[in-house]
Amino acid sequence: MSLPLLECKYVTEEFVREGKNGNYGTKLPSSVPMLRFLYELCWILVRGELPIQSCKSVLESVEFLDKPPREELASCFADVVTQIAQDLTMSGDQRSRLTKLAKWLVESQTVSQRLFQERCEEEFLWEADMVQIKAQDLKGKEVRLNTRLLYQQTKFNLLREESEGYAKLVTLLCRGSASSSHNASAATMGIIKSLIGHFDLDPNRVFDIVLDCFEIEQDYDTFLNLIPIFPKSHASQILGFKFQYYQRLEVNSPVPVGLYKLTALLVKEDFINLESIYAHLLPKDEEIFEDYNTSFAKRVEEANKIGKINLAATGKDLMEDEKQGDVTVDLFAALDMETDAVTERLPELENNQTLGLLNGFLSVDDWYHANILFERLAPLNPVAHNQICSGLFRLIEKSITHAYRIARQTRFQNSSSGGTEKITHTANKTCLDLPKEVFQMLVTVGPYLYRNTQLLQKICRVLRVYYVSALDLVRDGSSNQEGSVYEVSRVHLKEVRLREEEALGTCLLPSLQLVPANPAVGHEIWEVMSLLPYEARYRLYGEWEKDDEQNPLLLAARQVSKLDTRRILKRLAKENLKQLGRMVAKLAHANPMTVLRTIVNQIEAYRDMIAPVVDAFKYLTQLEYDILEYVVIERLAQSGRDKLKDDGINLSDWLQSLASFWGHLCKKYPSMELRGLFQYLVNQLKRGQGIELVLLQELVQQMANVQYTENLTEDQLDAMAGSETLRYHATSFGMTRNNKALIKSSNRLRDSLLPNDEPKLAIPLLLLIAQHRSLIVVNADAPYIKMVTEQFDRCHGILLQYVDFLSSAVSPATAYARLVPSLDELVHTYHLEPEVAFLVFRPVMRLFKCRRNGDVSWPLDSGESMDADSEISESESSMILDVGASEKAVTWSDVLDTVRTMLPSKAWNSLSPDLYATFWGLTLYDLHVPRNRYESEISKQHAALKTLEEVADNSSSAITKRKKEKERIQESLDRLTGELKKHEEHVASVRRRLSRE
């Protein structure tokens, strides 16, 4: 048979025809692929169409596509010849020509003989005289060689015969690492190789001994240099055999700590893969997860049972807790339960090789692989084990060492020189940076940071400086001309804030819940929380409580705190206020959310508890005050509770109690923050809900002493037309006023509504209350008109009270004028009714002054005479309001122009705009002098002085007290006398003006 025809693309018939004439390159393209061309050329030569000797000329004339090197050309030639030689269908002449081609390629040094010997069959090599052994004998020799290399086991010295080599090896490895330099390590590696070769030691056994010594010595530098001389693939198998040995039932000893540490170090150095060693560890994850879930459910059930009443208990058992004088608080009850649970899980740490490897990663500071195991073992809660938790603490402290050094230095500089805080922060903002691994560790450790309060406080200080430095970068970027710097700093601040919120919500706040009565820890956490806006803080508080239900430790702490708080509130009274108030504070320091919510719930049910509870709260910290405001807002926003009684008129008892409690609390403690509550009221008014305004009413009444009393006597009503001193004596009901405390609380309320760097809610709240007053009537859906009128009267009373507070608290009066919108805006932009608009604008109207006489203000008489023709024009042009250089002056004519738009045009046919404005602008103080009430109060003060003079007690303290009281009464007498005279002059001037107009 002959070779089958081959369709040639390059060695064509024209090429063969020209080749016979000696022209080999004329019919070829500029470049040809080498492998295809060689295959076609060899095929033509074997078929005899070209002589063998022409191969050299062809190769010299052809130009290959990739311009291969000589070695690649030889390899391709050998492959082509080998492939053709395997064709059993070729004739004897063709095979003879193939062998001649192979011989010629070897003789011409185009292909080396070794390539043919590697790739061709034995028969072909014998035919081409490339081997001296017959084909059959060569095959037998190959079989014997492969058997000896692949299947015959080398008999190494396995410590059962001669031990000299292993003894020298152990001596070499255990003689110490006095010198761990590179030269020493290289010398040790050379000696080990010599021992293996000289004593014929098993390399795997040597590797095992090296690992054993590594496990004992723990000399990282020396042994890590020795490890690479052994195959990486053998390390995981050898370590796996070690772990499997300790899994046998007959082996009672636990896995050595050094083995875990050795394995972790090899994984950290990337010498072995975590997954390759993880497959050898027992028990499997599914088994331990199932067992832990069972115990976890049992612990949650036990925690939920805390504080529940046993219905099967006898009366004697129920009264055991009611013994007087037996009030104790166990701050460690939940921790004792946790200790018992951890002790119960101790065998798990000894028998679980995965947890041991996790502890090994922590011991070698390998957070990357430790985090992988923490995520994989999350259902097992491995951080609950004290040993793992301590390793994580050590790693966290090591990670924040540099940052804490900067934070401590900044704190020291700020305490030594109070004015350099910004300077130090700016100087350190480029130095302080926390890696994301620190926050990953904090999320992993969770509430168990309570076990190391010192580390907890360090973390709080570092986080505070970290956030402040990011704020400084934003401030510097805003002043920088480059917008890109500012954007980068803002993105960095956003990332820092998200990290800190995550650390607070998952670690710091839950840990506080388990620290027994340590106010210093709460203070450090507040130092970080205070940097966040109240929206972020309240969100963290809400998430904090939800997380408690998922952790039996936190759930038990919450249940115990709730039970202890109820027990204390049962006995809280004025007599034992100091003792029990401190107990409440101790509970609140550890578990503020639960304790404060329990107290607020009790206050809603029992109004009489307000006074003692408010007094007991003097021991709370700023963090607890902030949480208390969140709890109050949460109770207000809680759905499913009626805020009105069944009659639809009166407020519910719980809402009245809550409002009264909040008013008294904010009056007594200056550190209460009110912005969150005001924002809640604004949001409710936007939704058309105004019942919660009772809280604003209580705040204004308690903090600013602006009373709104519906039921006044004739004498009190008459006194309301008098001066401030007379109004106070008529409505004080025998109570003395602490002016200093009242001024401070009033200013705090004003500053909460008008902060310097926050959205100012004073005017939006005022406008929304005024608009809500009209919406009550428009959107009324009550079945009885009395329900609507009661809500309208309540809203109107709060509006009067709030306007009175703003006009008196915002000083000077021009500041109030700049604060409120103009009369035109109140009526047309905000769509307020005219009487409400004048109520808001009335204090501003009294700032209009005469152009000719600046000492005379509206509505007083200027004393100028005017005839009837010029009366209106003079009255419109003679008054002007100037509230500052930045504001445009407003004339009285501008006010009258706005007044003309309030009523239809035909209404002004019988009524002048000036009279309309005067009617709404005047008050009782402008028109009536309650002389009888003035004289009555003056006589009361004289009678009080006479009573003091008749007191017979002449002790020094009594004399001093009487002297102070006499000074106070005499001061009130002088004020009343002067205000009476001033009031009479004021009313006379107003009446003169009215008579002329």
pLDDT band at 1 (very low <50, low <70, confident <90, very high): very low
Long-range contacts of residues 609-613, Cβ cutoff 8 Å, at least 24 apart: 609/569, 609/572, 610/657, 610/660, 610/661, 610/664, 611/574, 611/664, 612/572, 612/573, 612/574, 612/577, 613/569, 613/572, 613/661
Q: Closest by alpha carbon to 817, among 881, 724, 860?
A: 881
Res 841: pLDDT: 93
Task: Return mean pLDDT, the chain.
Answer: 84
Mean pLDDT within 350-364: 93
pLDDT band at 681 (very low <50, low <70, confident <90, very high): very high
Mean pLDDT within 607-629: 92
Task: Return the bridge partners of 416, or none.
Answer: none
Per the CB < 8 A criterion, the answer to whether 260 and 360 are in contact is yes
Mean pLDDT within 880-908: 83
pLDDT band at 158 (very low <50, low <70, confident <90, very high): low
Does the pLDDT of residue 688 top 60, yes or no? Answer: yes
Res 367: pLDDT: 96
Alpha carbons 940 and 942: distance in angstroms, whole number: 5
Mean pLDDT within 56-75: 83
**Helix axis angle, 203-217 to 257-268, nearest 10°:** 110
* Helical segments of 345-430, H only: 346-351, 353-363, 367-376, 386-399, 401-416, 421-428
Alpha carbons 550 and 303: distance in angstroms, whole number: 11
Which DSSP symbol is given to 201? B
Alpha carbons 864 and 857: distance in angstroms, whole number: 13
SS3 of 855-914: CCECCCCCCCCCCCCCHHHHHHHCEEECCCCCCCCEEHHHHHHHHHCCCCHHHHHCCCHH
pLDDT band at 66 (very low <50, low <70, confident <90, very high): confident
Mean pLDDT within 471-490: 76
pLDDT band at 309 (very low <50, low <70, confident <90, very high): low
b/e map 472-485, b = 16+ CB within 10 Å:
bbbeebeeeeeeeb
pLDDT band at 94 (very low <50, low <70, confident <90, very high): confident
Residue 656, Cβ density class (10 Å: 0-12 exposed, 13-18 middle, ≥19 buried): middle
pLDDT band at 159 (very low <50, low <70, confident <90, very high): low
Alpha carbons 583 and 567: distance in angstroms, whole number: 11
Res 7: pLDDT: 74
Does the pLDDT of residue 805 top 70, yes or no? Answer: yes
Does the pLDDT of residue 375 top 80, yes or no? Answer: yes
Q: Which tens digits make up the pLDDT trace of 385-405?
A: 999 999 999 999 999 999 999
Does the pLDDT of residue 414 top 80, yes or no? Answer: no
Which residues does 705 contact at the CB level (< 8 Å), separation at least 6? Answer: 737, 742, 746
Task: Return the bridge partners of 880, or none.
Answer: 849, 891
Does the pLDDT of residue 376 top 90, yes or no? Answer: yes
Percent of the chain with pLDDT over 90: 30
Mean pLDDT within 599-619: 91
**CA dist 489 → 425, 431, 435, 532, 538 (Å):** 15, 15, 17, 17, 25
pLDDT band at 222 (very low <50, low <70, confident <90, very high): confident
By mean pLDDT, which of 157-171, 578-592, 640-654, 655-669 is the weakest? 157-171
Res 227: pLDDT: 85
Alpha carbons 674 and 682: distance in angstroms, whole number: 12
Res 870: pLDDT: 43
Res 220: pLDDT: 61
Q: Which two tokens stand for residue 317?
A: 């058992």
Strand segments (E) across 463-583:
none
Which DSSP symbol is given to 849? E
Does the pLDDT of residue 604 top 90, yes or no? Answer: yes
Does the pLDDT of residue 429 top 60, yes or no? Answer: no
Long-range contacts of residues 517-523, Cβ cutoff 8 Å, at least 24 apart: 517/331, 517/586, 517/587, 517/589, 517/590, 518/453, 518/589, 518/590, 519/589, 519/621, 520/457, 521/453, 521/456, 521/457, 522/589, 522/592, 522/621, 522/623, 522/624, 523/621, 523/622, 523/623
Does the pLDDT of residue 596 top 60, yes or no? Answer: yes
Helix or strand (DSSP H, E) at 134: none
Helix or strand (DSSP H, E) at 239: helix 232-245
Res 176: pLDDT: 59
Q: Which tens digits make up the pLDDT trace of 942-959?
A: 888 888 887 777 778 888
What is the three-class DSSP state of 752? Answer: helix
By mean pLDDT, which of 155-159, 167-171, 427-431, 613-617 is the weakest? 427-431
pLDDT band at 855 (very low <50, low <70, confident <90, very high): low
Does the pLDDT of residue 856 top 70, yes or no? Answer: no
Alpha carbons 106 and 74: distance in angstroms, whole number: 10
Mean pLDDT within 642-657: 89
Mean pLDDT within 252-262: 91
Res 27: pLDDT: 63
Does the pLDDT of residue 864 top 70, yes or no? Answer: no
pLDDT band at 734 (very low <50, low <70, confident <90, very high): very low
Res 430: pLDDT: 44
Mean pLDDT within 228-249: 89
Instruction: Name the residue ranges covered by the structural domains of the chain.
Output: 13-120, 164-278, 285-306+329-396, 397-532, 811-926, 931-996
Q: Which two tokens stand for residue 909?
A: 């046919």
What is the pairing mode between strands 849-850 and 879-881? antiparallel
Mean pLDDT within 38-59: 83
Per the CB < 8 A criterion, the answer to whether 433 and 467 are in contact is no
Res 160: pLDDT: 57
Total length of the chain: 997
pLDDT band at 420 (very low <50, low <70, confident <90, very high): very low
Q: What is the DSSP string of 800-832?
A: HHHHHHHHHHS-SHHHHHHHSPPHHIIIIIS--
Most confident range, picked from 625-629, 877-881, 906-910, 912-916: 625-629
Helix or strand (DSSP H, E) at 439: helix 436-445
Which DSSP symbol is given to 64? B
Mean pLDDT within 973-980: 89
Per the CB < 8 A criterion, the answer to whether 754 and 962 are in contact is no
Mean pLDDT within 962-983: 88
Mean pLDDT within 50-78: 83
Q: Closest by alpha carbon to 622, among 758, 770, 522, 768?
A: 522
**Radius of gyration over every alpha carbon of the chain, rounded to an integer in angstroms:** 48
Q: What is the DSSP string of 320-369?
A: GGG-TT-----TTHHHHHHHHHHHHTHHHHHH-HHHHHHHHHHHTT-HHH
